[in-house]
Structure 1
Amino acid sequence: MVKNVSYKLWGFLLFVSACGFVAYLKSEQYIELYVQKHEDMDTCTLSAYPPMLETIEKTENVETTNENHSPIILLEWYKAFGRVIDDYILRGCGGCLYTQNRSKLMEKNTKAVVMHFAELKKSTMPKERRPDQYYVWYTMESSLTLYNKDNLHLDSFDGVFNLTMTYRRDSDVYAAYATAHLAYLQANGGPRPKTELQMDELIKQKTHVALWAASNCATNKGAIERLKYAKQMIRDGLDLTFGGKCSGDMERKQFNYTKYKFYLAFENSWDCKDYITEKFWKNSLFAGTVPVVIGPPKADYEAVAPPNSFIFAQDFATPKKLVEYLQFLDKNDNAYKQYLVWTTLDASQMPWYKKGSKQCHLCQVMTKLTSKTTDSPVFSSLSRTNFSVSKWFFGTDNPKCFS
């Protein structure tokens, strides 16, 4: 009887330990992912993503954490797209407290106030501000999209913000839609590389050639041009499954991306610096599918993507030449396989290996900026008393982005 109880107790303890380990792996796997609502989400919905970052990082109760008894407070002033989150501690990033609680505005440890562009209004901004507080301007929309917004008046906020948090790598806080490391974890189902056998099995699952799903058909030049380009590829013989509102599918049918060899990850904003969205990550690489891309310059993709993981459409003189290449790869598994070799590499070979979330990076930045032991400022113009978000965001992007 005693032995049975002992076995049951050990079994229970092993079960609890296993659950804890799985939870840890999950947190490691998804710590980098934070996806915003986007006006051109195509067939992708937020519910299709893994658990959101805030539910993963909130692994310790704020009151019981001992990582930092007086954590730096990061206050999200506006609830981005109405998204409500509870307070949580950014463990492993400096121990900052991330909150939407406006009552903490004037607390001495509230060092950063994050303001999302969509809700930003002079009339609803804080009425008080301490001189040691950094205002962080935050967006995941392309510079072209914001440039075309008549009611944005971004230049009226010159001298208000100190820091930027966007998808661009030259932001103070890098807020990527995803990373190569996360794509690796998603495509492989964990941190271990695929074997040759597993890669062959993945290719066998791919019973369709190409997929494209889009619902933004004409809001700007990029949206119009990508639709023309895709339709020309169909006329040139590409076996393309076409979904989304642009195809007439008003129900936005969901697809199993893994079944396709290629996904047309065409952005609605072309030539805009670093603008690489969920089309490239979730719709393509996460599923072990090869993205065919049009968007920012090729060098921007190469800086963040797994090695040799995508096909740059503009490397081909015409859509027809691109179609012929995709048809060649469709009929030659060994050639196609070269675009999946990245899944067999070690995870540490992925660009931005173990890069944390945008909130994590913000915490790290603020920890350095507020540290008394920092010998030199993190940024060349630390105070940024006359910083213009408008001139930076629009003025330093590629001119072609706005043409």
Structure 2
Amino acid sequence: MPSPLRPEPEDTMVLIWLWPFNTAFELDACQSLYNINGCYLTSDRQLYSKADAVLIHHRDIFWDLSNLPQLPRPPRQKWIWLNSESPSNSPLIPGLENLFNLSVTYRKDSDISVPYGSIIATDQTLEEFVPPVKKRLVCWIVSNWNPVHRRVQLYEDLQQHIRINTFGDHFNRHVSKQGYKNIVSSCKFYLSFENSEYKDYITEKLYNVLQLGTVPVVSGPSRQNYENFVPKDAFIHVNDFKSMKDLANYLLFLDLNDDMYRKYFSWRRNFEAKLSYFPVEHACYACDYVRRNKQYQTLTNLYEWYWGKS
């Protein structure tokens, strides 16, 4: 992916050292998408010595670190650790301590925090949000099936008490992008179950469902953690119920009480759900942070901070 023609002398330059998941993205989108000026993103490694920062995606680092920059680091250059995966889905690669200056992840306590999505104010207040027509009660789309995951155990318990419409590769019912939207919007409730439970790890499984006008039933971090990101009356948390039978009974109750069900969309009068775009949004906000923060910084406790290991 080519870089913009040339940086202005005052631009902050960030070198994308490893394309996240080997997928290139537009490098000139910071101003048009996020109104961020003064940032120059490049993938040209010949500019390494001139770059103000180097963005390195964790999941693409080789175990022996051989694909990291081998030249000495310029004194003022910052290395930025990029990761969007939870700790259990992130290999604990040795040798990373004292390599990085900054972090950009979904966590609120990152140097640059870019959650998977956000709830933003709309330009005008709606009289009432009318959800799409519902043809199904509870739905779940899943491809990554692991019987030890809590979400699988919750599903197997819940489906004994209420019918769940299942889709995805695990159920031999492949779903396209458009098919995903059609299915989710047609369901009254969707199981927005995370594959692991960690602080702030609240993914597109929630924000997609909120966007599509369906009530998410969530499993992940605590309700309090979810409420740091989304209105408390926008979702149903499995931990609010003593059993999956109680949860099933509540969903069946809402199915028969339309006024109660619609209260889960009251937040849509003033707000809407927005998805973050990985990794271009992360790169742009990282560049903007480096542009505005010239002080010395270092990330010395990466293993303890992220994995809880010293």
Interval containing the TM-score (normalised by the shorter chain): 0.7 to 0.9
CA deviation profile, 1:323-378 (whole Å, cap 9, x unmatched): 1111111111110111101111156xx899xxx932332123112222xxxxxx5x
1:278 aligns with 2:221: no
Relative distance call for 1:390 and 1:342 in structure 2 (3 A) is same
1:304 aligns with 2:229: yes
d(CA) in 2 for partners of 1:266 and 1:86? 31
Relative distance call for 1:192 and 1:64 in structure 2 (3 A) is farther
Question: Counterpart in 2 of 1:93?
Answer: 36
- Higher percent of residues as helix: 1
Question: Counterpart in 2 of 1:251?
Answer: 174
Letter of the 1:365 counterpart: Y
Deviation at 1:213, TM superposition (A): 1.1
Aligned length: 295
1:134 aligns with 2:110: no
Q: Kindly report which structure 2 residues correspond to 1:149-298, keeping only aligned pairs within 5 A, or say none.
A: 149=91, 152-153=92-93, 155-181=94-120, 191-196=123-128, 199-200=129-130, 202=131, 205-218=133-146, 221=148, 223=149, 225-236=150-161, 238-246=162-170, 248-249=171-172, 251-252=174-175, 254-255=179-180, 256=182, 257-270=184-197, 272-282=198-208, 284-298=209-223
Q: Which runs of 4+ in 1 moved over 4 A?
A: none
Deviation at 1:228, TM superposition (A): 2.1
Q: Kindly report which structure 2 residues correspond to 1:77-88, keeping only aligned pairs within 5 A, or say none.
A: 77-88=17-28
- Higher percent of residues as strand: 2
Structure 1 counterpart SS, 2:259: helix
- Single out whichever of 359-368 and 255-264 deviates more from structure 2: 359-368
Q: Kindly report which structure 2 residues correspond to 1:2-21, keeping only aligned pairs within 5 A, or say none.
A: none
d(CA) in 2 for partners of 1:258 and 1:85? 29
Deviation at 1:258, TM superposition (A): 1.1
Deviation at 1:250, TM superposition (A): 5.3
Relative distance call for 1:286 and 1:233 in structure 2 (3 A) is same
Structure 1 unpaired stretches of 5+: 1-53, 186-190, 371-376, 397-403
Q: Compare relative contact order (CA 8 Å, sep 6+) and give the higher one, 1 or 2.
A: 2
For residue 390 of structure 1, the aligned residue among 288, 297, 303 is 303
Matched-pair contact (CA < 8 Å) for 1:165–1:172: yes
Structure 2 unpaired stretches of 5+: none
Which of structures 1 and 2 has the bigger CA Rg? Answer: 1
Relative distance call for 1:266 and 1:89 in structure 2 (3 A) is closer
Structure 1 counterpart SS, 2:69: coil
Deviation at 1:193, TM superposition (A): 4.1
Give TM-score, length-normalised by structure 1: 0.67
Structure 2 counterpart SS, 1:343: helix
d(CA) in 2 for partners of 1:194 and 1:209? 26
Letter of the 1:209 counterpart: L
